[in-house]
Amino acid sequence: MLRFSPTARTNLFRVTLVITLAALACKALPFFGSDPEVTFAVVGDIMGHEAQIRSAYDPASKQYKYDSVFSRLGTRISAADLGIANLEVTLPGKPELYSGYPQFGSPDSLVTALKDIGFDLLVTANNHSMDKGEAAALRTAKVVLDAGFLQTGTFDPHDYPARRILEVERKGIRMVFLNYTYDTNGIAVTPGVIVNIIEKERIQKDFELARAKKPDVIIVLYHFGKEYLSAPDAFQKEWVDFAFQEGAQIVLGGHPHTLQPFERKITKDRFGVEAERFVIYSLGNFVSNMQRRGVDGGMILNFAIQKTDEKIVIRKINYEPVWVYTPLIKGKMEFYVLPVFEYLESKELDANSMARMKLFLSDTQALLKQSMDSTRDPVVK
């Protein structure tokens, strides 16, 4: 039998006590030892061109299937606490209403496939929100919600008061998401539906309501900018600044189909609150049938927000380029969103596709070099 001296016994008791207390603390506080952190995987525009709809159709089952499109992404989206995308099509429900450019209507199974790879939030305010009219706009938001997504940007007026400000809590961090579009391609937004248009009064009111909820962070998703430009225009800069002035900390942009820079800086809002703020002006296309240089890919933007001393800091900013590979297989055009780095040595791609993917990568790295430099610590003022 082991015998301990009185001192050894006291020490053993102390050690046991410390271990027990630490274990209890870990159980009570899952983030014991580090500040809570929420991770993001954000992508740009989910387009639905005619060729994508045709490709999704499976004549054997007479169903539209999109799973293979996203099958190369692994756990890149699901691994993040929040996977976010802009759904730039309507879901009109009837196959005769499915169509590509210029007025998009896609099968519901597109969003089921997005759910299956791990997206959590789909925003629906964009220039195509009204493409198939009021009923389809309402149906799109409903299908997205019924599929289990968080959703904002377009609303049924009946539940607008309850859903106007989207609050999301993860790991004890309380976030508000707001989403706006510059226009609906000239199609009138009829009174039976609400589409968040970029208008000062609306946004200011939303911020007022959002701030009253005292979230840890306000995140704005804007659909704006000029198509095919690789730098933000004056309109984008103006509205990003407006969001920051109103207290937003993060702004995520889309619509130009091309990638545009991102930056992190410390600025004061109109209430005198100094905080780290982050903007990406355009996330590019995530999936589309746009094949020209610069619009044939996009990115998965990764970052984390951390709550430190009651302040939100933005960390681990990084991106992974994705490129849309469209091979002809048995006479049928297929669509695959490829994480570029994983496919640089792939034997699967033909020489022309490989060259185009590599060109997309080098263009992207050149465009975003300064963005990556600006987001390294320490944060620039």
Evaluate the CA torsion angle 54, 58, 59, 62 in order and state its sign: negative
Nearer to Zn ion, 104 or 207 (CB): 104
Q: What are the residues facing 194 on neighbouring strands?
A: 155
Cβ distance to Zn ion smaller for residue 255 or 356: 255
In angstroms, what is the minimal distance from the CB of 349 to Zn ion?
28
Indicate the residue whose CB is closest to Zn ion.
255
> From CA 7, how far away is CA 334, in angstroms rounded?
74
Q: Answer whether 87's CB lies under 8 Å from 124's CB.
A: yes
- In this complex, which beta carbon is closest to Zn ion, that of residue 39 or of residue 127? 127
Q: Using the structure block, give the residue that is written with the tokens 């609306």.
A: 202
Q: Which is nearer to Zn ion, 127 or 353 (CB)?
A: 127
- The DSSP 8-state label assigned to residue 95 in this structure reads G
Q: How far is the CB of 172 from Zn ion (least distance, A)?
A: 34
Task: Report, in Å, the least distance between residue 227 CB and Zn ion.
Answer: 8
CB 272 to Zn ion: min, Å: 35
DSSP 8-state secondary structure symbol assigned to residue 379? P
Longest Cα–Cα distance of the chain, Å, equals: 87
State which amino acid sits at residue 167.
E
Which residues are at the interface with Zn ion (CB under 5 A)?
126-127, 255
For the bound state, the minimum distance from the C-beta of residue 255 to Zn ion, rounded and expressed in Å, comes to: 4
**What is the smallest separation between the CB atom of 51 and Zn ion, expressed in angstroms?**
18
> Can you say how many angstroms the Cα of residue 108 is from the centroid of all Cα atoms in its chain?
19
Contacts of 222 (CB under 8 A, 6+ apart): 179, 180, 181, 182, 198, 236, 239, 240, 243, 251, 252, 253, 254
CB-CB contact of 105 with 90 (8 Å): yes
Quote the CA–CA distance of 273 and 268 in Å, as a whole number.
Answer: 5
Q: Which is nearer to Zn ion, 124 or 364 (CB)?
A: 124
Q: Which residue has the tokens 């759904």?
A: 87
Nearer to Zn ion, 39 or 258 (CB): 258
